[in-house]
Amino acid sequence: MATQLNVSTSASQTYDVVVVGGGIAGLTVAYRLDNKNVLLLEKELVA
């Protein structure tokens, strides 16, 4: 499976969903919402 990382510096961008936490649950939710504009927030490096 390919992984894509999009980094935006615009603070004015809007999102359909904001997921807080890049653990297994947060990553699963973000992956399952691939048809939405999702922002995933994680304080550590997501592997």
- Cα distances from 22 to residues 12, 43, in angstroms, run 22, 8
Distance CA 9, CA 47 (A): 21
- The answer to whether 20 touches 41, Cβ cutoff 8 Å, is yes
The pLDDT of residue 40 is 92
**Residue 13's pLDDT band (boundaries 50, 70, 90)?**
confident
Mean pLDDT for the stretch of residues 2-30: 83
Tokens of 31: 């992956």
**Residue 3's pLDDT band (boundaries 50, 70, 90)?**
low
Mean pLDDT for the stretch of residues 1-23: 78
What is residue 5's three-state secondary structure? coil
Bridging pattern class, strands 17-20 and 38-41:
parallel
pLDDT, tens digit, for every residue of 22-47? 999 999 999 999 899 999 999 887 66
